[in-house]
Amino acid sequence: MTLTTPLTLRQARPEDADAMCAIINPIIALGDTTAYGTPFTSDTMTQHYVSGDHVLSCVVAEMGQSVEGFQGLFATDPAKLPFLTDPAGIASIASFARIDTQARGIGSAMIVETMAVARAKGVRGIEATIRADNVPGLAYYSRCGFKDVAQTDNVPLSDGRVVGRVHKVLYL
């Protein structure tokens, strides 16, 4: 299903933090798709997704005045990408849409904007690490053109469960 109301895409601002928390915290509470285990506060959201030194971009998707999704792009230490033979210039991505609007085109719209920003900033590839049991997330990144490059098994979550991670890359 696609959206019938037009989306507006723009860079996140600190005043978006509460709306972004209202998107991600219910996903964290469900516990079945994200590796995050601790809910975000307005301050932690701002630091991690909006204004931290590592933030290259954070696109928000709005319908009317409502933030429906956000997608962060982050500078990544190449040492944290040991599964890549040449990790220089690779950034990491994280994507979230409101639970009741997932799979309706928000992510597809955001990735176009994120890729444009990444190219403008000289990023040569984008890495996504997705829980191996996050079937919708794996499908989303594959539809966007990301290719599997590695898998990490037996990664503990904060609640003690152990799941794998699939590492995907999209070269720009």
The pLDDT tens digits of the residues spanning 3-62 come to 556 889 999 999 999 999 999 999 998 877 787 888 999 999 999 999 999 999 999 999
- Between CA 120 and CA 110 the distance in angstroms is 16
Q: Which domains does the chain have, with CATH numbers?
A: 8-171 (3.40.630.30)
The pLDDT tens digits of the residues spanning 101-126 come to 655 689 999 999 999 999 999 999 99
Tell me the whole-structure pTM to 2 decimals.
0.90
